[in-house]
Amino acid sequence: MTKGEKTKQLLYHCALELFREKGYDKVSVNEIVEKAGTAKGTFYVHFGSKAAVIAEMFHTYDDYYNRIEEEMDNTAPALKRLEEFIRASCSFTEEEIGLDLIRVLYLNQLTEGELEQDALRRDRALYRIIEKLLIEGQNNGELNNQFRADTMVSWIVRSIRGTFYEWAMKEGSFSLSEECLRYVHALIYGLKA
């Protein structure tokens, strides 16, 4: 690892530690660089903004999703596996990421045009896995064939994202997994009589 990469990692870890300790808003960039023993300019060599640290962190989502995918029981019905996958994603968010950092991520997707695309790209694993499951569901006859798989993926991702947003907004006042699953279930089975 080159020295530049090491510095970036150092800043990254110091920042995350401070964020978890005091909350994102209560941590200044000055504080981060002080803890890391570097200069402010150095911070901005590696990160375009304070929030870019959070964006960086969301690479861990991809890793996690891929791991879940590997561990899934491929003999179960596609919809069952979809449920499992969503549950795992929610648990990871609740337990490993936490409310504060989700809030900052969602804030950021609304502010920074550059990060936004990153975040979408970061959803790649999520998209890919859900799409795979939906196509399987369509082939199995578990799902409607009148919609394109990628259309349905975007609806499901949106429903997940919407629930995450509400969760962050209401400061975690409900169980993310439960609400996500109930909502996605409703989306799949429909509200009509």
Partner DNA sequence: TTGTAAAAAATACTTTAGTATGGTATTGTG
Partner DNA sequence: CACAATACCATACTAAAGTATTTTTTACAA
Q: How far is CA 189 from CA 63, 66, 93, 159, in A?
A: 30, 27, 25, 14
- Cα–Cα distance, 39 to 175 (Å, whole number): 41
Residue closer to DNA by CB (options 26, 67) is: 26
Q: Which stretch binds DNA (CB under 7 A): 33-41, 99-107, 132-140, 159-167?
A: 33-41
Decide if residue 44 touches DNA (CB under 7 A): yes
Question: 152-191 mask for DNA (x: CB under 7 A)?
Answer: ----------------------------------------
Crossing angle of the two packed helices 124-140 and 113-122, in degrees rounded to 10: 40
Contact residue for DNA among 3, 71, 74, 192 (CB under 7 A)? 3
Decide if residue 1 touches a copy of itself (CB under 8 A): no
Decide if residue 141 touches a copy of itself (CB under 8 A): yes
H helix or E strand, kind and range, residue 152: helix 149-169
Decide if residue 68 touches a copy of itself (CB under 8 A): no
- Cα–Cα distance, 82 to 138 (Å, whole number): 13
